[in-house]
A and B are shown apart, each in its own frame.
Chain A
């Protein structure tokens, strides 16, 4: 439906297409309570029979004013709040926030802390992708992968629990490094997990990759071209599935990602199946990164010298990381006091969700479900 060579002018997202013949346009309100909208997303669908003529997202049901809260907490106190945005990838949120504040403070976390951060962040990417895979497959009707992925995600959460006591909203990192040294046997357990998990990726792929129905349901569904991706600011696996080899871990390495050897998996078609393949390949790459990080984990302190009361000099920083869902950016303005003057979070889910309308035009209701799933949105992050 979308011409890949088109300019921006075709992105006319306001006027829906006309229904065929004189059939009545059916307006369906999907959500905010709906099993497949991954939270409290409300989508108003305009249908011609089952064909989607246009849709409008209504968001904000989970708005908690995270940015406002940030202005009223000290830098340290705000750290746990960011975990509550993308709660399935809480570690990544924390990583982005801590690094941004470190940049404001002009400190850098010690190498050991950097390595542990990479390990935990990549484990988090695995957990996030697992959750995505399970729920996405469930939306398309395959109920079994959900239980497989949750069984394996449990192992990751156990490592988190042992490390910091929390499983979901971990608050694992501190500004300037880590609060805790790793527990005894951390490396061994991570290694055990990797050797346990590698065949599990094959298991997921065995269930889905060549499954005829899966392929038919996802191929050529929700196509978005690279050009449209960039125009709409869509990042993460969705962008890579459209053929843009762009990953912040490579493009503008943060933490110590430049020390690791990994590939950026890409696909060309930009459909749901390609996004699935990209995410599966990303899981394998994450395993590779974690492997290298565990192997090269240096000894040393885990906390840099940071003042007890943080008063970053006045200034402003935009720093972004490659969260499992795309570019997660923090824009922090400091006025020299203990509290940030302004915290802006650039949530990947929020921006990616804009593409839903474009991706669903002309498709069927069932595809809307598939596309919502493949965008991998977390409403906690969309609404903040």
Chain B
């Protein structure tokens, strides 16, 4: 399968394996196409998870990771795309409805915007919160003091 993708898309795909788990790093521009193909042609019909990893030292700061599973093949695969800070990526909600909240959570935690997402807003943190906690530059004790003072009427949440 990966070989087929490789031949179709060429250098945009880099298939990798670690500890017996397959994943591939895909160029950002190829992501919509690849994900569509994964679902329609390769029967990866279950989007297990969408998440991101922040590498502040890298030029392309974020890895966006799709964990996919195919019921018919009983196979799991991860698709990764590296993007710059502030760059957005096309939403996969039209492909997997499950992506809705998962993408919202990625936005909430990392500030990565998904284009054409039906309802791109925070999910776990309250609306109006400043900062995205899972970025590496967000301290573990850091909080939006202003928001806490205005909305909770206390000096600090800690």
A interface, CB within 8 angstroms of B: 8, 11, 13-14, 59-60, 63, 65, 67-69, 71-72, 103-104, 106, 228, 230-234, 244, 246, 251-252, 315-318, 320, 327, 329, 331, 333, 341-342, 344, 346, 350-351, 353-354, 383-384
Number of A-B contacts (CB under 8 A): 103
**Contact between chains at B123 and A69 (CB < 8 Å):** no
B41-80 CB contacts (< 8 Å) to partner A: 45-49, 51, 53-54, 65, 67, 71, 74, 76, 78
**Contact between chains at A233 and B119 (CB < 8 Å):** no
Can you pick out 17 interface pairs between chain A and chain B where the beta carbons lie within 8 Å of each other? A8-B94, A8-B95, A8-B96, A60-B122, A65-B140, A68-B133, A68-B138, A103-B19, A228-B97, A233-B97, A252-B74, A318-B48, A329-B49, A342-B134, A351-B98, A351-B101, A354-B100
A-B contacts besides A11-B97, A103-B19, A351-B98, 5 pairs, CB < 8 Å: A59-B124, A68-B134, A252-B76, A344-B51, A354-B98
Q: How far is the CA of A319 from the CA of B134 in the complex (A)?
A: 21
Q: How large is the interface on B (under 10, 10 to 19, 20 to 34, 35 or more residues)?
A: 35 or more
B interface, CB within 8 angstroms of A: 18-19, 21, 23, 45-49, 51, 53-54, 65, 67, 71, 74, 76, 78, 94-98, 100-102, 105, 109, 118-119, 122-126, 133-134, 138, 140
Q: How far is the CA of A8 from the CA of B47 in the complex (A)?
A: 13
Q: Which residues of B contact A317 (CB under 8 A)?
A: 18-19, 21
**Contact between chains at A350 and B101 (CB < 8 Å):** yes
A283 to chain B, nearest CB (A): 25
Q: Which residues of B contact A320 (CB under 8 A)?
A: 48
Considering the complex, give the chain A residue whose CB is closest to the CB of B53. Answer: A342
**Contact between chains at A316 and B18 (CB < 8 Å):** yes
Q: Which residues of B contact A331 (CB under 8 A)?
A: 49, 51, 65, 67
Q: How far is the CA of A9 from the CA of B54 in the complex (A)?
A: 33
Q: Which residue, of B48, B49, B102, has the highest number of chain A Cβ atoms within 10 A?
A: B49
Closest 3 A/B residue pairs (Cβ): A233-B98, A60-B124, A346-B49
